[in-house]
Amino acid sequence: MKYKKISVIYNKNASGGKAEIKFNQLKNIITQKVPDAEIEYYNSESIKDMENYIVDLCYNKKADLLIPLGGDGTISSISNVLMTIDFDKRIPILPIPGGTGNSFLVDQNITTIDDAFEKFDPNGYFLSDIIEVKTNKRHFYCINIVGMGFISDVAEFAVKHKKSIGALSYILAVFTGLGKFKPYKTKITFSDHEQFNSDKVFFLTISNNKFTAAKFMVAPDADITDGLGDIIILHDINRFQFLKGFSKIFTGKHTHEKGCTYIKSSSLKIEADPLFYIMPDGDLLDDYSPVEINILKAQIKFALKS
């Protein structure tokens, strides 16, 4: 086996404490799957703590494989750290499902710890693309998806009301959001200088892989290694047509509905009125369009069979 020094990173308090249960399961399995490796277990208590730890691992060659226990947020956070490190010093990742959203892993047909080790490549890795996002306030990366429009408006409502009405906020957000929703006047300029224009955009996503929230097949033709983002735009339809299309997002059949435009591109710039909230990998930011997006090919090393 190529990997001799392995670092397992986790946060025992994540997912309401459920991560510690998952960690104990992982610890029992990993010693069976890689019995000859030197293994270090690291409980990361904050994002900054994790960043410092990964930088130290890479630059000081303290590990040749990183095994994070978590979901999409964990993979995205680690990818952001790795993008600050010279490519030849970035260590491969073997991600283990342990979060509330595991879209990246679902795309790789991984839903359990055993699945991850079935797909583990002990002698190599594949290179994944990553989405680069630039706004007026931030420059960052995400591994799965950037969402705007109705999807981010619903999230904004839910976040604002979650403390007062709990989980019900997400249900109310859909109905309240759609009832009050005003479509966006949108201009998108692509890498070949082609433009998309509409005065009535409901929903806009840029995907690196097929799934989001582990269950929604937003971009059924996405390929995380092709150097292209899959742009889905729902536009110029009424609310009934929007709900009809949105209800088919579990299977990916929404792309055949009226008003759905599906485009592949390596870069794009998005302008909107009113401004879009930006939501990368399911995380609603206090940040807005205009936004420039680039798909950077072959950046993150995953120790998985492609």
pLDDT (tens digit per residue) in 173-202: 666 667 777 899 999 999 878 999 999 999
pTM score, whole prediction: 0.91
In angstroms, the CA 33 to CA 256 distance is 43
The pLDDT-based confidence of 275 (bands split at 50, 70, 90) is very high
Strand partners, 7: 40, 66
- 139-297: CATH number: 2.60.200.40
Structure confidence by residue, pLDDT tens digits, 208-222? 999 887 678 889 999
Q: 5-124 belongs to which CATH class?
A: alpha beta
In angstroms, the CA 208 to CA 228 distance is 7
The pLDDT-based confidence of 267 (bands split at 50, 70, 90) is very high
The pLDDT-based confidence of 243 (bands split at 50, 70, 90) is confident
The pLDDT-based confidence of 15 (bands split at 50, 70, 90) is low
Alpha-helical segments (H) within 113-229: 113-119, 150-165, 168-180
The boundaries of every CATH 2.60.200.40 domain in the chain are 139-297
CA of residue 285 relative to chain centroid, distance: 14
CB atoms within 10 A of CB 49: 14
- Give yes or no for a contact between 104 and 128, defined as CB atoms under 8 angstroms apart: no
Q: Report the chain's terminal Cα–Cα distance, integer Å.
A: 17
The boundaries of every CATH 3.40.50.10330 domain in the chain are 5-124
Strand partners, 128: 300
Considering only residues 303 and 153, tell me which one the structure prediction assigns the higher pLDDT.
Answer: 303
Residue 233: pLDDT above 90? yes
